[in-house]
Structures are given as C-alpha cells and as structure tokens.
Homo-oligomer: A and B are copies of this chain.
Amino acid sequence: MVKVGIIGATGYTGVELVRLLANHPGATLEVLSSHSYVGKKYSEVYPHMLPHLDLQMVDDNPDNFKGIDQVFLALPHGVAGSLVEKLPAEIKVIDLGADFRLANPREYEEWYEQAAPNAKELEQAVYGLPELKREKINGARIVANPGCYPTATILGLAPALASGMLVGDSLIIDAKSGVSGAGRGLALGSHFSEVNENFKAYNVGRHRHTPEIEQELSSVAGRNITVTFSPHLVPMTRGILSTCYGNLASGWNETKVREYYQEFYTKEKFVQLLPQGILPQTKWVQGTNYCLMNVVVDERTGRLIIISVIDNLVKGAAGQAVQNFNLLWGYPEDTGLLMLPQIP
C-alpha cells in the first residue's frame, strides 16, 4: 500500500482526488493538508464524507509528510515550485497545477507572469499525459499533470498531427467547459445567478492553457504548431468539450482519418473513437476517466473537425493523476478508475 498525502485537499480537484483514492486498492490516504482549514476534520468542510473518511487536516509543512510515499499537489499555480523543493527527495510528486507543465521557463514566465520553478526540479518533471508519455512517466519523480482543456484537446489532435493528415501549422480550438474548472474560490464569474442560463466566451486568444497545448502538439507533429484557443463557459458543473478545426491534406477522407484514429488509440483503455456519426457528449464521461471523441470531415470546405470530451475533474485532473500514480507505482493503469458514468 502506497502512503499518500494530498496538499490542497479541500479544493475541487482535492476532493475529487479524495473520492478516487479513498477506494483505491493500492493507496491509503494518510495526510490531507489545507491552507484554510488546518485542524478541522475533513467532514466539517465536506459533510458528505462523514461516512467515508475523517482525517484531521494539517498545513503544508514538509514535516507533516514524513513517511509519505506519494504527494499530490492540488494548488493554484505559483505555489508548487517552492513547495516541492522542500519535500524529501524520496517522495514522488504529482502536481495537478501548472507549474511544471511548460519545459521552457521563459514561456512559463511570459504566460503566468511569475518565476518558474528551479531548473533542478523542472528537469525532474514529465508532462503526465499517459497516452503520449507513458514511458517517461514511469520513472519520473515529478509528474506535471496536464490541464483540463489540454487533455481533451491534445488527445483529440495528436493522431491528426502525428499522421500528416493536416496542412498548415496553425489550428483553431473552440473549447467549452463546465464551471467546476474555475474551482471552489468565490468569484462573480462562478456565482450561480451569473452563470446559470448563460453562455459566454472568455480569455479568447490568451488563456494560459495555450502554451501547454502548443508545446505538446508541436512535440507530436515534429514541427512548430500554433493554436487559436477560445474557451467558453457552459452552465453545468462538470465536463469539457473541445472542437478542433484543421485543413485536411489531399489524399485523406473521413474513412482514412477514422482508420488512423482507431489504430492510434487501439491499445488505450481510456480513449475511445465513437462509431461514425455518433458525436460525443460530456455526460457520457461524467465521473469517469474516459476521453471519447469523433471526427467529421466537412467535404464542402475541406476541413477536419475533431470533437473530444472528458470530465474536467477526472481525466482532466484527479483521474489522470491517479492514472499517473498507477504508472509510477506499477499498478494496472485503470486501478481505482473502473467506475462507469452515471446516466442520466
């Protein structure tokens, strides 16, 4: 049994980690930390956990994590870097924030407007998208768990960019997310009466997930890829749908594209191409670690449209972190991730 600590256990990714790890057969939840609730029992913050788990919360002092094998960081960006430096070197780290995702510290500093983590830690970090980086994740000390939008988008576009089926070096990504992606922190933009029965775009062309998407797509494509990334807010709690647009190279049609995608993900449990004509819906993955997708070729305009969905808090955060945890500790990759979606 791997002894686990969660730093930032009361945010939405934190409580989702708790949900998944509480039932994980190879992990025991030993330490939960929280800035705001030190000394309180977890069920005082989340009464629904009363029957399930009731640890008392501590702060993020490294001493509190002695004897822990694996730490999950579920923190706002900018905090993880200095925290990881202080943790004993034998503790493995999965960071669900942004600090270790960008290999180039200058790019981090440009988009996040603050200092990147030290080079020493940054070099220990691997971008934790298992379907593309499985081998590197295996032996890593620090796993940089991908963002929610990047997970849906990179998985959707990777086969297209690996294959040469797209012409041009720039893509359009029109993405839509449920509100839980904005976290548990209070803000007018997450206030019920402002969000409910409302739909909007935000941070168009300047969302911080942009460089992460470009970094990974460029890596897959073997050339520099740029994206126009337009996030939108959907009046629902969970779910991300990413609609991606590219121009199809000559010689490709929907059948060939489908075959390539099918083959590309044939061994992946958590990524599924749907049958032709069945477009994915966010609810079909709610609460699960799956990414469902489909492709459409618009023959009138020569464009390829790829639509992919995930649960932003599972495959887009805590579930993918558990998948990485399984890779780090040698468990089958779907351990603790077998739940089916609730329909309806």
| Chain A residues with a Cβ under 8 A of chain B | 12, 15-16, 18-19, 22-23, 46-52, 170, 172, 174, 176, 178-180, 184, 186-188, 190-202, 204-205, 226-228, 230, 232, 234-239, 241, 243, 245, 269, 272, 274-275, 278-287, 290, 292, 296-301, 303, 305, 307, 309, 338-344
Contact = CB atoms under 8 A, between A and B. Distances in A.
Given A48-B284, A226-B301, A305-B230, A197 B236 contact: yes
Nearest to A240: B199
Contact of A200 (B197, B280, B298): B280
A297 B228 CA distance: 10
A47 B275 contact: yes
Contacts of A50: 272, 274-275
Nearest to A340: B19
Contact of A193 (B176, B184, B194): B184
Contact of A190 (B193, B234, B285): B193
Given A51-B290, A186-B186, A228-B301, A198 B236 contact: yes
Given A199-B281, A200-B280, 4 more contacts: A50-B274, A176-B176, A197-B236, A287-B287
15 contacts: A18-B340, A23-B339, A180-B344, A186-B186, A186-B191, A190-B193, A192-B192, A196-B236, A196-B237, A198-B236, A200-B280, A201-B279, A201-B307, A228-B298, A228-B301
A296 B205 contact: yes
Contacts of A238: 197, 342, 344
A184 B286 CA distance: 19
A195 B197 contact: no
B235 A234 contact: yes
A232 B226 contact: no
Contacts of A344: 12, 15, 180, 184, 193-194, 196, 237-238
A51 to B, nearest CB: 5
Given A179-B196, A193-B237, A197-B236, A343 B296 contact: no
